[in-house]
Amino acid sequence: MSQQGLPMWQCVQCGRTRFPPRELCPRCGTERGRLVRARYGDVVEYTHLGQPADAVLASIRTELGPIVIARLNYPDVHNGHEVELGTAQPGPHSPARYGYVPVPEQDEPA
């Protein structure tokens, strides 16, 4: 992935975070916000695409709150799987693409 984290908009008045980024807060109506990046999330639900499973489409709850949908070219996934979020460099005729990669599981301390 070319950039870590997904760009999100966070209201400076009420603190609500939205994806995709917006100019106006839907909760309090203010235009005052800042760009933040969600770097991690957990798989909430997923489905396999194709037979055999070539890819996975998953709903991911980011650490900032919003749920995003992304494609994973990695079939071994499960609910609760922590993933790293990022954006791929868009092509000349395509919008930015969002994706995620699995975060390596760490061994439990003995």
CATH number assigned to the domain comprising residue 24 = 2.40.50
Distance CA 100, CA 108 (A): 24
Is residue 1 scored above 50 in pLDDT? no
pLDDT tens string 58-73: 899 999 999 998 877 6
What is the chain's Cα-based Rg? 16
Question: Whole-model pTM above 0.85?
Answer: no
The domain containing residue 13 runs over which residues? 3-102
Residue 28 counted as domain residue:
yes
Report the domain count for the chain: 1
**Tens digit of each residue's pLDDT (9 = 90 or more) over 89-105:** 655 555 555 555 555 55
Quick one: CA dihedral 103, 104, 108, 110, positive or negative?
Answer: negative
pLDDT at 2 over 50: no
Q: Is there a domain that residue 30 lies in?
A: yes
- Report the distance separating Cα 37 and Cα 53, nearest Å: 30
Domain assignment of residue 26, yes or no:
yes
